[in-house]
Amino acid sequence: MESVLARLRLTLEMIKFEHSVFALPFAGTGALLAIRESGYAPPELAWKILWIVAAMVAARSAAMAFNRLLDADIDARNPRTRARHIPAGLLSKEFTWAFVAAAILVFLLAARALNPLSFRLAPVALGVVFFYSFTKRFTSLAHLLLGLSLGIAPAAAWIAVRGSLDARILWLTAAVMLWTAGFDIIYSCQDYEFDVQEGLFSYPRLFGIAASLWISRVFHLAMLVALIALAWVFRLGPVSLAGVGAVAVLLLWEHRLVKASDLSRVNAAFFTVNGCISVLFFVFWAVDIMLLRPGV
């Protein structure tokens, strides 16, 4: 039993379980917007929120562990990643596969507990997040496909609360997709030489590091436009727009940290700034949605 717990701890460490914070606040925002549209009183709200969190965390955990399995041989050849748990021999592929299966089971159980549409769409969501792991082998659109993997979270949370999809929430899906693709481009600049050597696909390999950083900036600017459109279609107030402003300031900081000639602060840009973006965004929008209700 102690051995299983130790391996589980290593698995959570490998998939950077704590980075669920990147996706959960945006999923939470999707859920809050759906709650607002339900008159702030959807049935069994507390249970829905618990199941949404379980589903999001399980889906991300399954996808991350699957990615580490699929990329184990590539990671072993990359000086930056060869110390990861599977290539370093800290975790077996067999245990990691078992973890993936368990996470998928939790995700499916959570989707089934939410509503019929969530359960019917669960295999589609799994297909998207698993398919991403193959994409850098054949397309430079891998960054956008990773973004879509996170971007479906707020739409899925909306469906979990409402039992149907409203096209307006897709503005948030687009915003998360563009945000994720933008910071993934920054992160992938570290592997430019390795990607060229291995024939892997990425924007830095296709366009070069300097041009890719500009593409990242364009994606993040488009994210801000999508968030403003989201606030407009849901008729939100000035606090939500202040949240967009806070995101804009943090994105500006992120891009000032990284230069084509100096990638030494990529980790700070990737982990610290993006964690702050997701949490601050949620705080501002939660205040607007839940506290500053129409007529209050």
Sequence ranges of the domains in the chain: 2-291
Report the pLDDT value the prediction gives residue 42, as an integer from 0 to 100.
72
Report the pLDDT value the prediction gives residue 1, as an integer from 0 to 100.
62
Report the pLDDT value the prediction gives residue 293, as an integer from 0 to 100.
63
Report the pLDDT value the prediction gives residue 160, as an integer from 0 to 100.
95
In 3D space, the residue among 8, 110, 19, 112 whose CA is nearest the CA of residue 60 turns out to be: 19
Report the pLDDT value the prediction gives residue 134, as an integer from 0 to 100.
96
Report the pLDDT value the prediction gives residue 31, as an integer from 0 to 100.
95
Which residues make Cβ contacts (< 8 Å) with residue 95, sequence separation at least 6?
Answer: 7, 11
Report the pLDDT value the prediction gives residue 95, as an integer from 0 to 100.
95
Q: Which parts of the chain fold into alpha helices (H)?
A: 2-14, 24-37, 45-70, 72-77, 93-114, 116-135, 142-162, 170-188, 192-198, 203-207, 209-233, 238-257, 266-267, 274-286
Among 1.10.10.10, 3.30.1480.10, 3.50.50.60, 1.10.357.140, what is the CATH number of 2-291?
A: 1.10.357.140
pLDDT tens string, the chain, 296 residues long: the values are 658 888 989 998 998 877 777 778 999 999 999 999 988 777 788 899 999 999 999 999 999 999 999 999 999 999 999 999 999 999 999 999 999 999 999 999 999 999 999 999 999 999 999 999 999 999 999 999 999 999 999 999 999 999 999 999 999 999 999 999 999 999 999 999 999 999 999 999 999 999 999 999 999 999 999 999 999 999 999 999 999 999 999 999 999 999 999 888 888 667 788 889 999 999 999 999 987 665 44
